[in-house]
Structure 1
Amino acid sequence: MKKVIKVVFSISFIFYLFVLMIILFLGTRGYIWSDLSLLEYIKRSSNFVPFKTITTYFKAILNGSMNIDIPIKNLVGNFILFLPMGIYLPLYIRKINKVSVFSISMILLLFIIEVMQVFTRKGSFDIDDFILNMLGALIGFGIWKTKVVQKLLK
């Protein structure tokens, strides 16, 4: 049974990485400012102010000024997107079994992804996405550390 569980986890991890790459870099989302210089593109499309986008979306939900699908997809989607990474990383990289090492690894990974999105112009650098992705990953790591999951894999 243990071998079956590991095979299922391995297949699901490959599928997760595939979907993650599509969402982050190959999707149809893109920005209309393709004719701008990289510096101008960064200025117009990036958010370096923590909780700016999150606050805007919560206000929009409360006052109904925006179609509710947009803030829900953005907030929940960014939160859930990296939740599985909190389970997969410590499973496949044993050294990432402490919250401090996991957090540093995720910070580096998420920073690289955000920067790559800017350079490929398939997204923008948004500190709020970073925060939500990190929170999701930490929740996933918390799930990984539960006795139920640990017992399942031993």
Structure 2
Amino acid sequence: MVLSCGGIMGNKISKKERILRYCIFALFILYIIILLRITLFKQASMYNLFAAIGASERTISIIPFKSIFDMISSDISLMRILENVLGNIIIFIPFGLLLPIILKKEYKIIVLCGVIFSAFIEIIQFIFGLGSTDIDDLLLNTIGVIIGYLLFITIKNKAKSNLLFLVSVTVLVFISGSITLGILFVNNTDLFLISPKETTVENRELVQDFIDTPNYLSGKFVEVKDSMLTVEKSIQNATEQREFLDIEITSESRIYVCYDKIDYFFNTISGEHQRYEQISYSDFISNESEAFSKDNNVVIWSLDGKKVDSLIVIEWVE
């Protein structure tokens, strides 16, 4: 009877180990998918992944640690540098921790697999314009694989049984992975969006005839005095100087307010609501309208560049 119980117990343990190995294999596949998402398709939303192809300028750096030294010598913050360096290391630690369990291979094979996989990512980034190709990334990724393998050895040596070892690895990967995904979800929500943002527009028919045509001027409303509207022109790049432009606004000018409300899901825009209303020329000139105030964004359409044909004032709604 004792032998029978022992045999049954042994089979139970064997089944548990098999199940845990399946779990670890599933976690590894999920990890690889997330890794590719972060490294290759971080510039595109889930619903349009291939939009990232060719989105980045192809760059390559083959001098070890050059990009790190360039970041240190530039104006990039220390936090951003640490995020880049530590991120490239941490993201490959699960590779060195889980792959030995799946392949049952030794240190050199695991590290070689890590180097090959990291190099594959860098090459794909360069071929398809998915990001910068940098030997520093390869070196840091390899360090991550080595740390992962050392963690694998440490847990295996301290575990009293193979079952306890598999449980420890599964729990560790699940908890740390959940925390990492939570951080990514909050700080990089767009990585997980499965549908484009929804834009709801009310009374679009008021501006239908010109809203989709190129505008003459956009910027900030400064003042209106004696039928002259002063606008601070929008700056498109850091080399442009602040410029104030005057344009005549007449009783024939069509004036609208766009009430714009943006919905945020963590730090990502998830939806937008716009509502157009027309206001009278007299209200605009006298500044009696409460629909807008100084520094509101304005968009102007003008055929001759001298007088306003159509004007939209953007009013952000909390």
Same fold, TM-score > 0.5, yes or no: yes
Larger Rg: 2
Asked if the contact 2:94/2:145 (under 8 Å) is kept, the reply is: yes
Cα deviation for residue 87 of structure 1 reads 1.3
Matched, 1:9 2:24: yes
Structure 1 counterpart of 2:102, from 79, 92, 95: 92
Q: State how 1:21-60 maps to structure 2 within 5 Å.
A: 21-28=36-43, 32-33=56-57, 41=58, 45-59=59-73
| Deviations 1:109-142, CA, capped at 9 Å, x for gaps | 2212211111121112201011100000110011
Over the aligned positions, Cα root-mean-square deviation in angstroms equals: 2.4
TM-score, L = length of structure 1 = 0.76
Q: Is the counterpart of residue 111 in structure 1 residue 119 in structure 2?
A: yes
Report the alpha carbon displacement of residue 11 of structure 1 after superposing the two structures with TM: 3.2
Alignment counterpart, residue 144 of structure 1, candidates 127, 143, 152? 152
Deviation, structure 1 residue 2: 3.2
Matched positions, count: 138
Find the aligned partners of 2:34 and 2:42 in 1 and give their Cα distance.
Answer: 10
* Structure number having the greater helix percentage: 1
* Map 1:116-135 → 2, pairs under 5 A: 116-135=124-143
For residues 93 and 27 of structure 1, what CA distance do their matches in structure 2 show?
29
- The unaligned stretches of length 5 or more in structure 2 are 1-15, 45-51, 168-318
Is structure 2 residue 34 aligned with structure 1 residue 19?
yes
Q: Report the Cα distance in structure 1 between the residues aligned to 2:80 and 2:131, rounded to whole angstroms.
A: 16
Match of 2:81 in 1: 71
What is the CA distance between 1:32 and its match in structure 2?
Answer: 4.4
Aligned-partner SS, 1:84: helix
Q: TM-score, normalised by structure 2?
A: 0.39
Secondary structure of the residue aligned to 2:68 is: helix
Distance 1:46 1:112 in 2: 14
Task: Structure 1: state its 5+ residue gaps.
Answer: 34-40
Give the match for residue 37 of structure 1. Answer: none
1:153 is aligned, of 132, 144, 166, to 166
Map Cα deviations across residues 59-103 of structure 1 (whole Å, 9 max, x no partner). 56xxxx323342122111101111100012111112xx2222222
2:93 aligns to what?
83
Alpha-carbon distance between aligned partners in 1 of 2:139 and 2:66, rounded to the nearest angstrom: 11
- Distance of aligned partners of 1:11 and 1:134 in 2 relative to their CA distance in 1, 3 Å threshold: same
Q: Distance in 2 between matches of 1:136 and 1:79?
A: 4
Instruction: Tell me by how many angstroms 1:19 deviates.
Output: 0.8
Asked if 1 retains the 8 angstrom alpha-carbon contact of 2:96 and 2:147, the reply is yes
**2:114, 2:27 → 1: CA distance?**
20
Structure number with higher strand proportion: 2
**CA-to-partner distance for each residue in 1:44-66, whole Å, 9 max, x for gaps?**
x1111101122334456xxxx32
